[in-house]
Structure 1
Amino acid sequence: MRYMVKGQVHETESSDGTVIRYSSRGQGVPIITANGVANTTTFWHYFEDHFSKFARVICWDYRGHGRSDVPRDLDTFKVPCYSEDLLAVMDHAGLDDAILVGFSMGVQVILEFYRDNPERVSALIPVNGPCADPFEAFGSSETYKKAYTAVLNHYIEHPRLLELVGIPLLLSPIPWPFSKVEVDRHRCPRLEMDLYFEHIARMGFANEMRALLGMEEHSAEDVLATVDVPTLVIAGEKDDMCPARLVMRIFRGVKGAELFTVPHGTHATLIEEPDLINYRIEAFLRKNGLL
Protein backbone atom coordinates (compact mmCIF):
# COMPACT_ATOMS: atom_id res chain seq x y z
CA MET A 1 0.00 0.00 0.00
CA ARG A 2 1.20 3.52 -0.77
CA TYR A 3 1.97 5.90 2.12
CA MET A 4 2.18 9.57 1.21
CA VAL A 5 4.19 10.94 4.13
CA LYS A 6 7.89 11.12 3.32
CA GLY A 7 9.63 10.79 6.68
CA GLN A 8 12.07 8.03 7.57
CA VAL A 9 10.25 5.04 9.07
CA HIS A 10 11.14 3.71 12.52
CA GLU A 11 9.62 1.06 14.75
CA THR A 12 9.22 0.49 18.46
CA GLU A 13 7.19 -1.71 20.79
CA SER A 14 4.18 -0.59 22.76
CA SER A 15 3.64 -1.61 26.38
CA ASP A 16 2.19 -5.00 25.36
CA GLY A 17 4.85 -5.74 22.74
CA THR A 18 2.84 -4.67 19.68
CA VAL A 19 5.18 -3.21 17.05
CA ILE A 20 4.28 0.41 16.26
CA ARG A 21 5.79 2.16 13.25
CA TYR A 22 6.21 5.88 12.77
CA SER A 23 7.87 8.30 10.38
CA SER A 24 10.00 11.29 11.31
CA ARG A 25 10.83 14.21 9.05
CA GLY A 26 12.47 17.56 9.72
CA GLN A 27 14.31 19.11 12.65
CA GLY A 28 13.21 21.32 15.50
CA VAL A 29 10.16 21.48 17.73
CA PRO A 30 8.45 18.05 17.71
CA ILE A 31 4.90 17.82 16.38
CA ILE A 32 3.14 14.46 16.56
CA THR A 33 -0.02 13.66 14.62
CA ALA A 34 -2.77 11.19 15.52
CA ASN A 35 -4.92 9.66 12.79
CA GLY A 36 -8.61 9.01 12.37
CA VAL A 37 -10.08 5.56 12.88
CA ALA A 38 -9.35 3.03 10.12
CA ASN A 39 -7.01 5.57 8.57
CA THR A 40 -3.27 5.82 8.09
CA THR A 41 -0.88 8.75 7.96
CA THR A 42 -2.03 9.58 4.40
CA PHE A 43 -4.19 12.57 5.35
CA TRP A 44 -1.15 14.25 6.97
CA HIS A 45 1.12 14.52 3.94
CA TYR A 46 0.30 18.19 3.27
CA PHE A 47 0.81 18.92 6.97
CA GLU A 48 4.13 17.09 6.96
CA ASP A 49 5.33 18.92 3.84
CA HIS A 50 4.58 22.28 5.44
CA PHE A 51 5.77 21.84 9.03
CA SER A 52 8.84 19.68 8.35
CA LYS A 53 10.50 22.81 6.92
CA PHE A 54 10.94 24.17 10.46
CA ALA A 55 9.83 21.43 12.88
CA ARG A 56 10.18 17.69 13.42
CA VAL A 57 6.97 16.02 12.27
CA ILE A 58 6.20 12.52 13.49
CA CYS A 59 3.33 10.58 11.91
CA TRP A 60 2.48 7.14 13.25
CA ASP A 61 -0.05 4.34 12.86
CA TYR A 62 -2.19 2.88 15.62
CA ARG A 63 -1.97 -0.81 16.42
CA GLY A 64 -3.75 -2.77 13.70
CA HIS A 65 -3.62 0.20 11.33
CA GLY A 66 -1.30 1.06 8.44
CA ARG A 67 2.31 0.03 8.93
CA SER A 68 1.89 -1.02 12.57
CA ASP A 69 1.31 -4.63 13.59
CA VAL A 70 -2.00 -6.15 14.59
CA PRO A 71 -1.99 -6.75 18.36
CA ARG A 72 -2.12 -10.31 19.68
CA ASP A 73 -5.00 -9.28 21.93
CA LEU A 74 -7.74 -8.11 19.58
CA ASP A 75 -9.57 -6.53 22.51
CA THR A 76 -6.92 -3.78 22.59
CA PHE A 77 -8.36 -1.72 19.74
CA LYS A 78 -9.06 0.86 22.45
CA VAL A 79 -8.26 4.55 22.83
CA PRO A 80 -6.22 4.05 26.05
CA CYS A 81 -4.13 1.44 24.20
CA TYR A 82 -3.50 3.89 21.34
CA SER A 83 -2.37 6.36 24.00
CA GLU A 84 0.14 3.75 25.19
CA ASP A 85 1.29 3.37 21.59
CA LEU A 86 1.84 7.13 21.39
CA LEU A 87 3.89 7.06 24.59
CA ALA A 88 6.09 4.34 23.09
CA VAL A 89 6.62 6.46 19.97
CA MET A 90 7.60 9.52 22.02
CA ASP A 91 10.02 7.53 24.15
CA HIS A 92 11.64 5.84 21.16
CA ALA A 93 11.95 9.18 19.35
CA GLY A 94 13.72 10.62 22.42
CA LEU A 95 11.14 13.33 23.08
CA ASP A 96 10.43 14.89 26.46
CA ASP A 97 7.32 16.63 25.15
CA ALA A 98 5.58 17.46 21.88
CA ILE A 99 2.78 19.37 20.23
CA LEU A 100 -0.06 16.91 19.60
CA VAL A 101 -2.38 17.28 16.62
CA GLY A 102 -5.26 14.83 16.42
CA PHE A 103 -7.75 14.27 13.60
CA SER A 104 -11.17 12.68 14.19
CA MET A 105 -10.55 9.75 16.59
CA GLY A 106 -7.08 11.19 17.04
CA VAL A 107 -8.71 13.92 19.15
CA GLN A 108 -9.81 11.30 21.66
CA VAL A 109 -6.32 9.80 21.58
CA ILE A 110 -4.44 13.04 22.30
CA LEU A 111 -6.87 13.95 25.09
CA GLU A 112 -6.45 10.50 26.62
CA PHE A 113 -2.69 10.89 26.35
CA TYR A 114 -2.93 14.23 28.13
CA ARG A 115 -4.88 12.57 30.93
CA ASP A 116 -1.92 10.36 31.86
CA ASN A 117 1.01 12.45 30.58
CA PRO A 118 0.20 16.18 30.86
CA GLU A 119 3.84 17.09 31.41
CA ARG A 120 4.72 15.67 27.99
CA VAL A 121 2.28 17.83 26.03
CA SER A 122 3.21 21.38 25.01
CA ALA A 123 0.03 22.12 23.01
CA LEU A 124 -3.13 20.38 21.83
CA ILE A 125 -4.73 20.82 18.41
CA PRO A 126 -7.95 18.81 18.01
CA VAL A 127 -9.12 18.72 14.36
CA ASN A 128 -12.61 17.58 13.34
CA GLY A 129 -13.00 15.29 16.30
CA PRO A 130 -15.01 14.74 19.50
CA CYS A 131 -13.85 14.18 23.05
CA ALA A 132 -16.14 11.15 23.45
CA ASP A 133 -18.55 8.84 21.63
CA PRO A 134 -18.52 9.97 17.98
CA PHE A 135 -21.79 8.18 17.24
CA GLU A 136 -23.55 10.91 19.20
CA ALA A 137 -23.35 12.86 15.94
CA PHE A 138 -26.24 10.73 14.68
CA GLY A 139 -28.29 10.22 17.85
CA SER A 140 -28.07 9.87 21.61
CA SER A 141 -31.01 7.70 22.68
CA GLU A 142 -30.33 4.48 24.57
CA THR A 143 -32.19 2.52 21.88
CA TYR A 144 -29.88 3.94 19.21
CA LYS A 145 -26.77 3.16 21.25
CA LYS A 146 -27.88 -0.42 21.88
CA ALA A 147 -28.64 -0.86 18.18
CA TYR A 148 -25.29 0.29 16.80
CA THR A 149 -23.39 -1.54 19.53
CA ALA A 150 -25.22 -4.73 18.61
CA VAL A 151 -24.43 -4.21 14.91
CA LEU A 152 -20.73 -3.63 15.60
CA ASN A 153 -20.49 -6.69 17.83
CA HIS A 154 -22.31 -8.82 15.25
CA TYR A 155 -19.81 -7.97 12.52
CA ILE A 156 -16.87 -8.46 14.85
CA GLU A 157 -18.05 -12.04 15.39
CA HIS A 158 -19.37 -12.61 11.85
CA PRO A 159 -17.38 -10.47 9.38
CA ARG A 160 -17.26 -12.92 6.46
CA LEU A 161 -20.31 -11.77 4.50
CA LEU A 162 -19.44 -8.11 4.99
CA GLU A 163 -15.89 -8.74 3.80
CA LEU A 164 -16.99 -10.82 0.80
CA VAL A 165 -19.12 -7.93 -0.40
CA GLY A 166 -17.31 -4.94 1.09
CA ILE A 167 -13.67 -5.56 0.19
CA PRO A 168 -14.18 -5.83 -3.60
CA LEU A 169 -16.49 -2.82 -3.37
CA LEU A 170 -13.92 -0.70 -1.53
CA LEU A 171 -11.23 -1.61 -4.06
CA SER A 172 -13.46 -0.63 -6.99
CA PRO A 173 -14.21 2.86 -8.40
CA ILE A 174 -17.66 2.80 -6.79
CA PRO A 175 -16.93 4.44 -3.39
CA TRP A 176 -15.58 7.69 -4.85
CA PRO A 177 -18.87 8.97 -6.36
CA PHE A 178 -20.67 8.17 -3.10
CA SER A 179 -18.07 9.97 -0.99
CA LYS A 180 -19.62 13.30 -2.00
CA VAL A 181 -22.26 12.61 0.65
CA GLU A 182 -19.67 13.77 3.20
CA VAL A 183 -16.62 15.25 1.45
CA ASP A 184 -16.41 18.14 -1.00
CA ARG A 185 -15.38 16.35 -4.20
CA HIS A 186 -14.38 19.63 -5.82
CA ARG A 187 -11.71 20.23 -3.17
CA CYS A 188 -10.99 16.76 -1.83
CA PRO A 189 -8.32 14.88 -3.83
CA ARG A 190 -9.44 11.48 -5.05
CA LEU A 191 -6.10 9.75 -4.43
CA GLU A 192 -6.25 10.24 -0.66
CA MET A 193 -9.80 8.90 -0.52
CA ASP A 194 -8.91 5.89 -2.67
CA LEU A 195 -6.03 5.11 -0.30
CA TYR A 196 -8.40 5.46 2.64
CA PHE A 197 -10.83 2.94 1.14
CA GLU A 198 -7.93 0.62 0.29
CA HIS A 199 -6.71 0.74 3.87
CA ILE A 200 -10.13 -0.19 5.25
CA ALA A 201 -10.12 -3.21 2.95
CA ARG A 202 -6.61 -4.21 4.08
CA MET A 203 -7.38 -3.64 7.76
CA GLY A 204 -10.38 -5.98 7.69
CA PHE A 205 -13.91 -5.19 8.76
CA ALA A 206 -13.75 -7.08 12.05
CA ASN A 207 -10.82 -4.99 13.27
CA GLU A 208 -12.43 -1.82 11.96
CA MET A 209 -15.55 -2.64 13.97
CA ARG A 210 -13.39 -3.28 17.03
CA ALA A 211 -11.81 0.14 16.57
CA LEU A 212 -15.21 1.81 16.13
CA LEU A 213 -16.51 0.11 19.26
CA GLY A 214 -13.42 1.27 21.13
CA MET A 215 -14.19 4.86 20.15
CA GLU A 216 -17.78 4.52 21.30
CA GLU A 217 -16.72 3.19 24.70
CA HIS A 218 -14.26 6.01 25.34
CA SER A 219 -14.71 9.44 26.85
CA ALA A 220 -12.15 12.13 27.65
CA GLU A 221 -14.77 14.75 28.48
CA ASP A 222 -13.55 14.79 32.08
CA VAL A 223 -10.06 15.72 30.84
CA LEU A 224 -11.14 19.01 29.27
CA ALA A 225 -11.25 21.02 32.50
CA THR A 226 -7.73 19.83 33.40
CA VAL A 227 -6.06 20.99 30.17
CA ASP A 228 -3.48 23.67 30.90
CA VAL A 229 -1.64 24.03 27.60
CA PRO A 230 -2.37 26.18 24.53
CA THR A 231 -5.24 24.58 22.62
CA LEU A 232 -6.56 25.29 19.14
CA VAL A 233 -9.80 23.54 18.22
CA ILE A 234 -10.47 23.18 14.47
CA ALA A 235 -13.87 22.37 13.00
CA GLY A 236 -15.40 22.04 9.55
CA GLU A 237 -18.42 24.22 8.89
CA LYS A 238 -20.16 21.38 7.02
CA ASP A 239 -18.77 18.42 8.95
CA ASP A 240 -21.66 16.02 9.51
CA MET A 241 -19.42 13.29 10.94
CA CYS A 242 -18.33 15.53 13.81
CA PRO A 243 -20.85 18.39 13.93
CA ALA A 244 -20.36 21.71 15.66
CA ARG A 245 -22.05 20.69 18.91
CA LEU A 246 -19.40 18.01 19.53
CA VAL A 247 -16.51 20.31 18.66
CA MET A 248 -17.91 23.13 20.79
CA ARG A 249 -17.91 20.82 23.79
CA ILE A 250 -14.12 20.77 23.60
CA PHE A 251 -13.83 24.50 22.92
CA ARG A 252 -16.04 25.40 25.87
CA GLY A 253 -14.51 22.79 28.14
CA VAL A 254 -10.86 23.85 27.75
CA LYS A 255 -10.09 27.14 29.43
CA GLY A 256 -8.52 29.63 27.01
CA ALA A 257 -8.97 27.43 23.94
CA GLU A 258 -9.16 29.03 20.50
CA LEU A 259 -11.64 27.96 17.84
CA PHE A 260 -11.13 27.98 14.07
CA THR A 261 -13.95 26.91 11.77
CA VAL A 262 -12.98 26.05 8.19
CA PRO A 263 -15.52 27.64 5.82
CA HIS A 264 -17.42 24.95 3.89
CA GLY A 265 -15.13 22.34 5.45
CA THR A 266 -16.36 18.75 5.76
CA HIS A 267 -14.83 15.94 7.80
CA ALA A 268 -11.95 15.90 5.29
CA THR A 269 -10.71 19.44 5.96
CA LEU A 270 -7.11 18.24 6.30
CA ILE A 271 -7.00 17.41 2.61
CA GLU A 272 -9.66 19.84 1.36
CA GLU A 273 -8.07 22.99 2.78
CA PRO A 274 -4.52 22.02 3.79
CA ASP A 275 -2.95 25.45 3.24
CA LEU A 276 -5.60 27.24 5.28
CA ILE A 277 -5.31 24.78 8.16
CA ASN A 278 -1.52 24.69 8.09
CA TYR A 279 -1.15 28.47 8.19
CA ARG A 280 -3.74 28.80 10.96
CA ILE A 281 -1.92 26.20 13.05
CA GLU A 282 1.42 27.85 12.34
CA ALA A 283 0.07 31.24 13.41
CA PHE A 284 -1.29 29.71 16.62
CA LEU A 285 2.00 28.01 17.46
CA ARG A 286 4.07 31.12 16.74
CA LYS A 287 1.76 33.30 18.82
CA ASN A 288 2.28 30.95 21.76
CA GLY A 289 6.06 30.87 21.32
CA LEU A 290 6.10 27.22 20.31
CA LEU A 291 7.85 27.70 16.95
Structure 2
Amino acid sequence: MNTEYFESFDGTRLAVHRHGEGRPFVLLHGLFSSAQMNWIKWDHHEAIGEKGYEVIMLDFRVHGDSDAPQDPDKYPSNVLVRDVAALVDHLALEDYDLGGFSLGARTSLHATAHGVLQPRHLVVGGMGTAGLGEWHRRAAKFRRVIEKFDEIPRGDPDYFSMQFLKSQGVDRVAARLLLDTMPDLDLALLANITMPTLVVCGDEDRDNGSAEELAGLLPNAEYVEVPGTHMGSVTKAELGEAIAGWLAKTA
Protein backbone atom coordinates (compact mmCIF):
# COMPACT_ATOMS: atom_id res chain seq x y z
CA MET A 1 0.00 0.00 0.00
CA ASN A 2 1.40 3.37 -1.03
CA THR A 3 -0.10 6.72 -0.09
CA GLU A 4 0.68 9.67 -2.31
CA TYR A 5 -0.48 13.28 -2.49
CA PHE A 6 -1.19 15.53 -5.46
CA GLU A 7 -2.64 18.97 -6.06
CA SER A 8 -6.07 19.04 -7.65
CA PHE A 9 -7.23 21.61 -10.23
CA ASP A 10 -7.40 24.38 -7.60
CA GLY A 11 -4.32 23.46 -5.59
CA THR A 12 -6.16 21.46 -2.90
CA ARG A 13 -3.92 18.64 -1.65
CA LEU A 14 -5.57 15.24 -2.04
CA ALA A 15 -4.47 11.81 -0.81
CA VAL A 16 -4.39 8.71 -3.01
CA HIS A 17 -3.88 5.18 -1.69
CA ARG A 18 -2.58 2.66 -4.24
CA HIS A 19 -2.54 -1.12 -3.92
CA GLY A 20 -1.63 -3.94 -6.29
CA GLU A 21 -0.35 -4.12 -9.85
CA GLY A 22 -2.16 -4.34 -13.15
CA ARG A 23 -5.07 -2.59 -14.78
CA PRO A 24 -5.93 0.75 -13.09
CA PHE A 25 -9.20 0.81 -11.14
CA VAL A 26 -10.07 4.17 -9.62
CA LEU A 27 -12.23 3.51 -6.56
CA LEU A 28 -14.16 6.19 -4.66
CA HIS A 29 -15.57 6.10 -1.12
CA GLY A 30 -18.84 7.28 0.41
CA LEU A 31 -19.91 10.53 2.05
CA PHE A 32 -17.99 11.44 5.24
CA SER A 33 -16.08 8.16 4.98
CA SER A 34 -12.64 7.51 3.44
CA ALA A 35 -10.67 5.00 1.42
CA GLN A 36 -9.53 3.48 4.71
CA MET A 37 -13.05 3.11 6.10
CA ASN A 38 -14.77 1.84 2.94
CA TRP A 39 -12.14 -0.19 1.12
CA ILE A 40 -8.97 -0.88 3.10
CA LYS A 41 -10.36 -1.76 6.54
CA TRP A 42 -12.52 -4.56 5.10
CA ASP A 43 -9.89 -5.86 2.60
CA HIS A 44 -11.96 -5.05 -0.49
CA HIS A 45 -8.80 -3.60 -2.05
CA GLU A 46 -7.11 -6.97 -1.53
CA ALA A 47 -9.92 -8.91 -3.22
CA ILE A 48 -9.82 -6.61 -6.24
CA GLY A 49 -6.04 -6.44 -6.40
CA GLU A 50 -5.82 -10.23 -6.48
CA LYS A 51 -7.67 -10.19 -9.82
CA GLY A 52 -4.84 -8.26 -11.47
CA TYR A 53 -5.77 -4.66 -10.73
CA GLU A 54 -4.02 -1.67 -9.29
CA VAL A 55 -6.65 -0.22 -6.95
CA ILE A 56 -6.32 3.58 -6.87
CA MET A 57 -8.33 4.89 -3.92
CA LEU A 58 -8.84 8.65 -3.67
CA ASP A 59 -9.74 10.43 -0.45
CA PHE A 60 -12.16 13.15 -1.53
CA ARG A 61 -11.52 16.67 -0.30
CA VAL A 62 -12.91 17.06 3.25
CA HIS A 63 -12.39 13.31 3.77
CA GLY A 64 -9.67 11.00 5.04
CA ASP A 65 -6.12 12.26 4.59
CA SER A 66 -7.04 14.97 2.07
CA ASP A 67 -7.27 18.67 2.80
CA ALA A 68 -10.52 20.26 3.98
CA PRO A 69 -10.33 23.91 2.91
CA GLN A 70 -12.81 26.33 4.46
CA ASP A 71 -12.62 28.84 1.61
CA PRO A 72 -15.98 28.90 -0.24
CA ASP A 73 -14.12 29.49 -3.52
CA LYS A 74 -12.78 25.93 -3.21
CA TYR A 75 -16.28 24.52 -3.68
CA PRO A 76 -17.59 25.03 -7.24
CA SER A 77 -20.46 22.88 -8.52
CA ASN A 78 -19.58 19.19 -8.87
CA VAL A 79 -16.14 19.80 -7.36
CA LEU A 80 -15.66 16.09 -6.64
CA VAL A 81 -16.07 15.23 -10.32
CA ARG A 82 -13.36 17.78 -11.07
CA ASP A 83 -11.13 16.22 -8.41
CA VAL A 84 -11.47 12.75 -9.92
CA ALA A 85 -10.76 14.15 -13.38
CA ALA A 86 -7.67 15.85 -11.93
CA LEU A 87 -6.51 12.52 -10.50
CA VAL A 88 -6.96 10.78 -13.86
CA ASP A 89 -4.96 13.56 -15.53
CA HIS A 90 -2.29 13.49 -12.82
CA LEU A 91 -1.74 9.76 -13.29
CA ALA A 92 -2.07 10.07 -17.10
CA LEU A 93 -4.66 7.29 -17.16
CA GLU A 94 -6.09 6.52 -20.59
CA ASP A 95 -7.45 2.98 -20.26
CA TYR A 96 -8.88 2.43 -16.79
CA ASP A 97 -11.98 1.39 -14.84
CA LEU A 98 -13.91 3.53 -12.37
CA GLY A 99 -16.16 2.76 -9.44
CA GLY A 100 -17.46 3.92 -6.11
CA PHE A 101 -19.82 3.42 -3.22
CA SER A 102 -22.64 5.84 -2.32
CA LEU A 103 -21.16 9.33 -2.85
CA GLY A 104 -18.36 7.68 -4.84
CA ALA A 105 -20.94 5.99 -7.07
CA ARG A 106 -22.89 9.21 -7.43
CA THR A 107 -19.70 11.08 -8.42
CA SER A 108 -18.80 8.38 -10.94
CA LEU A 109 -22.26 8.56 -12.53
CA HIS A 110 -22.13 12.34 -12.81
CA ALA A 111 -18.67 12.17 -14.39
CA THR A 112 -19.64 9.57 -16.98
CA ALA A 113 -23.13 10.91 -17.72
CA HIS A 114 -21.67 14.34 -18.51
CA GLY A 115 -18.78 12.89 -20.53
CA VAL A 116 -16.11 14.22 -18.19
CA LEU A 117 -14.62 10.73 -17.77
CA GLN A 118 -14.78 7.72 -20.06
CA PRO A 119 -13.67 4.58 -18.20
CA ARG A 120 -13.90 1.21 -19.91
CA HIS A 121 -15.97 -0.28 -17.07
CA LEU A 122 -18.02 1.32 -14.30
CA VAL A 123 -18.97 0.02 -10.83
CA VAL A 124 -21.85 1.65 -8.94
CA GLY A 125 -22.30 0.57 -5.31
CA GLY A 126 -25.00 1.56 -2.82
CA MET A 127 -26.75 3.98 -5.17
CA GLY A 128 -30.29 4.16 -6.53
CA THR A 129 -32.41 6.55 -8.56
CA ALA A 130 -33.44 8.72 -5.58
CA GLY A 131 -29.80 9.35 -4.67
CA LEU A 132 -29.34 10.88 -8.10
CA GLY A 133 -32.57 12.55 -9.16
CA GLU A 134 -33.62 13.54 -5.63
CA TRP A 135 -30.23 14.12 -4.05
CA HIS A 136 -31.42 17.42 -2.54
CA ARG A 137 -33.58 15.41 -0.11
CA ARG A 138 -30.65 13.29 1.03
CA ALA A 139 -28.40 16.33 1.30
CA ALA A 140 -30.96 18.04 3.56
CA LYS A 141 -30.55 15.21 6.07
CA PHE A 142 -26.80 15.76 6.25
CA ARG A 143 -27.17 19.53 6.47
CA ARG A 144 -29.33 18.97 9.55
CA VAL A 145 -26.71 16.65 11.04
CA ILE A 146 -24.04 19.33 10.57
CA GLU A 147 -26.12 22.28 11.72
CA LYS A 148 -27.75 20.55 14.71
CA PHE A 149 -24.68 18.47 15.53
CA ASP A 150 -24.58 18.95 19.30
CA GLU A 151 -28.36 18.94 19.68
CA ILE A 152 -29.23 15.56 18.13
CA PRO A 153 -30.33 13.20 20.94
CA ARG A 154 -29.94 9.45 21.11
CA GLY A 155 -32.94 7.88 19.40
CA ASP A 156 -33.16 10.61 16.76
CA PRO A 157 -33.14 9.15 13.19
CA ASP A 158 -29.99 11.17 12.48
CA TYR A 159 -28.13 10.22 15.66
CA PHE A 160 -26.11 7.46 14.03
CA SER A 161 -25.09 9.77 11.17
CA MET A 162 -23.95 12.36 13.70
CA GLN A 163 -21.90 9.76 15.57
CA PHE A 164 -20.31 8.54 12.35
CA LEU A 165 -19.40 12.10 11.36
CA LYS A 166 -17.85 12.61 14.78
CA SER A 167 -15.90 9.35 14.60
CA GLN A 168 -14.36 10.34 11.26
CA GLY A 169 -13.25 13.75 12.52
CA VAL A 170 -14.89 15.54 9.59
CA ASP A 171 -14.47 19.32 9.43
CA ARG A 172 -18.09 20.48 9.63
CA VAL A 173 -17.47 23.90 8.07
CA ALA A 174 -15.86 22.32 5.02
CA ALA A 175 -18.47 19.53 4.93
CA ARG A 176 -21.30 22.06 4.83
CA LEU A 177 -19.65 23.84 1.90
CA LEU A 178 -19.15 20.54 0.09
CA LEU A 179 -22.80 19.55 0.34
CA ASP A 180 -23.81 22.62 -1.65
CA THR A 181 -21.66 21.53 -4.62
CA MET A 182 -23.72 18.41 -5.37
CA PRO A 183 -26.57 18.93 -7.85
CA ASP A 184 -29.28 16.45 -8.74
CA LEU A 185 -28.69 14.40 -11.88
CA ASP A 186 -31.24 14.41 -14.70
CA LEU A 187 -31.95 10.68 -15.00
CA ALA A 188 -32.32 11.04 -18.77
CA LEU A 189 -28.55 11.55 -18.89
CA LEU A 190 -28.03 7.97 -17.73
CA ALA A 191 -28.56 6.99 -21.36
CA ASN A 192 -25.09 8.45 -22.03
CA ILE A 193 -23.44 5.79 -19.84
CA THR A 194 -22.89 3.05 -22.38
CA MET A 195 -19.88 1.21 -20.92
CA PRO A 196 -20.45 -2.12 -19.11
CA THR A 197 -21.65 -1.25 -15.61
CA LEU A 198 -22.09 -3.20 -12.40
CA VAL A 199 -24.80 -1.93 -10.05
CA VAL A 200 -24.24 -3.62 -6.69
CA CYS A 201 -26.30 -2.96 -3.57
CA GLY A 202 -27.13 -4.43 -0.19
CA ASP A 203 -30.33 -6.44 -0.06
CA GLU A 204 -31.55 -4.22 2.82
CA ASP A 205 -30.19 -0.96 1.43
CA ARG A 206 -32.87 1.56 0.43
CA ASP A 207 -31.02 4.71 1.53
CA ASN A 208 -30.63 6.05 -2.01
CA GLY A 209 -33.78 4.58 -3.53
CA SER A 210 -33.94 1.64 -5.91
CA ALA A 211 -30.61 0.34 -7.21
CA GLU A 212 -32.45 -2.18 -9.38
CA GLU A 213 -34.39 0.64 -11.03
CA LEU A 214 -31.11 2.47 -11.62
CA ALA A 215 -29.65 -0.60 -13.33
CA GLY A 216 -32.71 -0.70 -15.59
CA LEU A 217 -32.08 2.87 -16.74
CA LEU A 218 -28.46 2.20 -17.68
CA PRO A 219 -27.95 0.87 -21.22
CA ASN A 220 -25.42 -1.84 -20.36
CA ALA A 221 -25.78 -2.70 -16.67
CA GLU A 222 -25.85 -5.83 -14.55
CA TYR A 223 -27.52 -5.75 -11.13
CA VAL A 224 -26.13 -7.77 -8.20
CA GLU A 225 -27.33 -7.89 -4.59
CA VAL A 226 -25.05 -8.51 -1.64
CA PRO A 227 -26.00 -8.85 2.04
CA GLY A 228 -26.55 -5.83 4.25
CA THR A 229 -27.89 -2.36 4.79
CA HIS A 230 -26.30 0.78 3.34
CA MET A 231 -23.76 1.06 6.14
CA GLY A 232 -23.52 -2.68 6.70
CA SER A 233 -22.97 -3.95 3.16
CA VAL A 234 -19.65 -2.15 2.81
CA THR A 235 -18.30 -4.04 5.85
CA LYS A 236 -18.98 -7.47 4.35
CA ALA A 237 -16.58 -9.45 2.16
CA GLU A 238 -19.32 -10.10 -0.38
CA LEU A 239 -19.17 -6.52 -1.66
CA GLY A 240 -15.49 -6.68 -2.57
CA GLU A 241 -15.90 -10.19 -3.96
CA ALA A 242 -18.81 -9.08 -6.18
CA ILE A 243 -16.81 -6.16 -7.56
CA ALA A 244 -13.66 -8.24 -8.08
CA GLY A 245 -15.55 -11.09 -9.73
CA TRP A 246 -17.43 -8.83 -12.11
CA LEU A 247 -14.29 -6.94 -13.13
CA ALA A 248 -12.46 -10.20 -13.82
CA LYS A 249 -15.43 -11.52 -15.81
CA THR A 250 -15.74 -8.44 -18.00
CA ALA A 251 -12.02 -7.64 -18.44
Offset of residue 195 of structure 1: 7.3
Query: Is 1:18 the equivalent of 2:12?
Result: yes
Query: Is 1:211 the equivalent of 2:178?
Result: yes
Q: Is the 8 A contact 1:227 1:254 kept in 2?
A: yes
State how 1:1-291 maps to structure 2 within 5 Å: 7-41=1-35, 42-45=37-40, 46-53=43-50, 54-71=52-69, 73-74=71-72, 76-77=74-75, 80-114=78-112, 115-119=114-118, 121-129=119-127, 130-134=131-135, 136=137, 148=140, 152=143, 159=147, 162=148, 179=160, 197-199=166-168, 202-215=169-182, 217-219=183-185, 221-244=187-210, 247-263=211-227, 265-274=228-237, 276-288=238-250, 290=251
Offset of residue 97 of structure 1: 3.1
Taking a change above 3 Å as real, the CA distance of residues 118 and 86 of structure 1, as seen in their structure-2 partners, is closer
Matched to 1:242, the amino acid is N
Matched to 1:29, the amino acid is R
Aligned residue for 2:62, secondary structure, equals: coil
Q: Which structure 1 segments of 5+ residues have no match?
A: 1-6, 138-144, 183-193
Aligned residue for 1:101, secondary structure, equals: strand
> Quick check: which has more Rg, 1 or 2?
1
Taking a change above 3 Å as real, the CA distance of residues 15 and 99 of structure 1, as seen in their structure-2 partners, is same
Distance 1:125 1:69 in 2: 26
Count of residue correspondences: 241
Matched to 1:44, the amino acid is W
Aligned residue for 1:22, secondary structure, equals: strand
Offset of residue 133 of structure 1: 3.1
State the Cα deviation string for residues 215-268 of structure 1 (Å, max 9, x = none): 4x3325243101111101012221132232xx23421111121001224x2002
State the Cα deviation string for residues 7-40 of structure 1 (Å, max 9, x = none): 2111111111111111111110111111111111
Q: Is the 8 A contact 1:239 1:267 kept in 2?
A: yes
Offset of residue 92 of structure 1: 2.1
Q: Is the 8 A contact 1:32 1:99 kept in 2?
A: yes
Aligned residue for 2:230, secondary structure, equals: coil
Distance 1:240 1:135 in 2: 16
Offset of residue 270 of structure 1: 4.3
Aligned residue for 1:268, secondary structure, equals: helix
Taking a change above 3 Å as real, the CA distance of residues 78 and 280 of structure 1, as seen in their structure-2 partners, is farther
Aligned residue for 1:69, secondary structure, equals: coil
Aligned residue for 2:234, secondary structure, equals: helix
Distance 2:235 2:201 in 1: 13
Q: Is the 8 A contact 2:226 2:233 kept in 1?
A: no
Offset of residue 117 of structure 1: 3.0
TM value normalised by structure 1:
0.71
Aligned residue for 2:105, secondary structure, equals: helix
Distance 2:57 2:233 in 1: 14
Q: Which structure 2 segments of 5+ residues have no match?
A: none
